[in-house]
């Protein structure tokens, strides 16, 4: 039985040596891989004189927006509001003929004048505000 135990110990030692060799080989491969890592080749950025391509904006054309035209504003008391009847006249802060404000999603985009088209009211845009004014509205 002692011979069997000796043989088992030798085979166990051989297995351990094989494992150690495998680990050493893996470590050597990893070391080589680290040494073989190269820096990526990055092309130099150059500014071109080409015009920017117009992006296809068709995907946003179906987005609904709320357009509001403000004829004028005023403040009234609740009592006055409750006394309004058919035919009542409410005075606004704008003068007749003064341009109406055009808002898109709550942001002022332009001004215009009231027109009648096929017995319906409309607005003819007379002025679009500048991009600088639009940026000021965002702040």
pLDDT in tens, 26-76: 877 777 666 666 667 777 777 666 555 566 777 788 899 999 999 899 999
Q: What is the pTM of this model?
A: 0.52
Task: Give the number of other CB atoms < 10 A from CB of residue 72.
Answer: 13
pLDDT for 50 equals 58
Comparing CA positions, the residue from 112, 107, 111, 110 lying closest to residue 135 is: 107
**Burial class of 102 by CB neighbour count within 10 A (0 to 12, 13 to 18, 19+):** buried
Q: How far does CA 70 lie from the centroid of its chain? A: 29
* CB-CB contact of 129 with 117 (8 Å): no
Domains and CATH numbers, the chain: 65-138 (2.30.330.10)
């Amino acid at each position: 039985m002692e011979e069997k135990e000796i043989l088992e110990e030798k085979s166990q030692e051989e297995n351990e040596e094989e494992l150690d060799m495998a680990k050493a080989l893996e470590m050597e491969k990893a070391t080589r891989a680290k040494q073989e890592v190269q820096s990526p080749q990055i092309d130099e950025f150059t500014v071109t004189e080409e015009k920017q391509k117009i992006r296809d904006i068709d995907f946003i054309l179906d987005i609904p927006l709320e357009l509001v035209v403000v004829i004028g504003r005023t403040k009234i008391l609740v009592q006055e509001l409750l006394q309004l009847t058919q035919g009542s006249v409410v005075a606004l802060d704008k003068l007749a003929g003064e341009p109406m404000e055009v808002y898109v999603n709550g942001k002022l985009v332009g001004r215009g004048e009231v027109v009648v088209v096929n017995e319906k009211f409309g607005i003819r845009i007379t002025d679009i505000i500048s991009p600088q004014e639009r940026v000021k509205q965002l702040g």
